[in-house]
Amino acid sequence: MKTAFVTGATAGIGEATVRTLVASGWRCVATGRRQERLNALVSELGADKVHPARFDVRDEEAMDAAIAGLPAEFAQVDLLVNNAGLAQGLSPAQEADLENWHTMIDTNVTAMVVLTRKLLPTLIERKGAIIAIGSVAGTYVYPGGNVYAGSKAFANHFTLALRADLHGTGVRVTSIEPGMVETEFTLVRTGSQEASDDLYRGVNPMTAEDIAMMIQWVAELPPHLNINRLEPMPVNQDFAGFRIAREG
């Protein structure tokens, strides 16, 4: 039985990924800050299938303790799913809250690279795989995206750079860069359920389960196949967003 290490597993894509992988025969280390949600996953899926690791990915000491404390049956990680991430605020750069910027960089950039580096020796030894959840925001920017878009551009390209660095190791690396997925993302970003409902209304957006299905597909491909990047979007969304500000 193979083991996946899934960050941000207490909601959205991460939670759906744990359920999907366990249903397909994987063990999962499920990480997140909300112990009650991790406990619920263990209760639902079984302690033999899910190991809860509660820590904030921005806390390196807590991360180290969680990795060191993995039970033997969960310690040999075959798949890292770099999913943890967030957006805060939609203000233009000149009005943005610097604390929001720090939080996004610490979560979406620093924590991801630190965790990846710590798990790389095991992943190389086991000829495993890394799947990172980036975003179309890293390619197609939008007003108010500023640091979130920049952090996702970093995530997208760091993952592709890993693919180059890990050449010859047998480790497969994939960047999945979704468009609109209805999760708690907008609620966390805006603090408003109404804003979240308004954004997704009538769009028929992708779901967390849709992305989890893609993660499972990539993870279970034959070991000689690598998907470099995937850019899924709902049919009702596209990338044509050029604007013109007219004078006069």
Q: What is the pTM of this model?
A: 0.93
Q: Which residues are catalytic?
A: 148
**What local confidence, expressed as pLDDT, does residue 219 receive?**
98
In a domain, 241, yes or no: no
Q: Looking at the predicted structure, is the pLDDT value of residue 189 above 90? A: no
206: confidence class by pLDDT, cuts 50, 70, 90 = very high
122: confidence class by pLDDT, cuts 50, 70, 90 = very high
In a domain, 74, yes or no: yes
**What local confidence, expressed as pLDDT, does residue 125 receive?**
98
Among 185-189, 206-210, 242-246, the range of highest mean pLDDT: 206-210
| Whole-number percent of the chain with pLDDT over 70 | 99
| Mean predicted confidence (pLDDT) in 156-165 | 97
CATH number at residue 155: 3.40.50.720
Secondary structure tally for the chain: helices H, strands E: 10, 9
CA distance 22 to 8: 16
Burial of 106 (0-12, 13-18, 19+ CB in 10 A): middle
CA distance 10 to 181: 16
Q: Looking at the predicted structure, is the pLDDT value of residue 244 above 80? A: no
184: confidence class by pLDDT, cuts 50, 70, 90 = confident
Q: Looking at the predicted structure, is the pLDDT value of residue 248 above 80? A: no
* Residue 137 structural domain: 3-230
In a domain, 18, yes or no: yes
Please provide the average confidence, as pLDDT, over all residues in the chain. 95
In a domain, 236, yes or no: no
Tokens found for residue 25: 């025969």
| Mean predicted confidence (pLDDT) in 178-198 | 86
Q: Looking at the predicted structure, is the pLDDT value of residue 236 above 80? A: yes
Count of domains for the chain? 1
**What local confidence, expressed as pLDDT, does residue 57 receive?**
95
In a domain, 188, yes or no: yes
Q: What does the angle CA 234 – CA 236 – CA 237 come to, to the nearest 5 degrees? A: 70
SS3 182: strand
**What local confidence, expressed as pLDDT, does residue 62 receive?**
97
| Mean predicted confidence (pLDDT) in 62-80 | 97
Q: Looking at the predicted structure, is the pLDDT value of residue 183 above 80? A: yes
**What local confidence, expressed as pLDDT, does residue 31 receive?**
97
In a domain, 49, yes or no: yes
Q: Looking at the predicted structure, is the pLDDT value of residue 52 above 80? A: yes
| Whole-number percent of the chain with pLDDT over 90 | 85
**What local confidence, expressed as pLDDT, does residue 186 receive?**
83
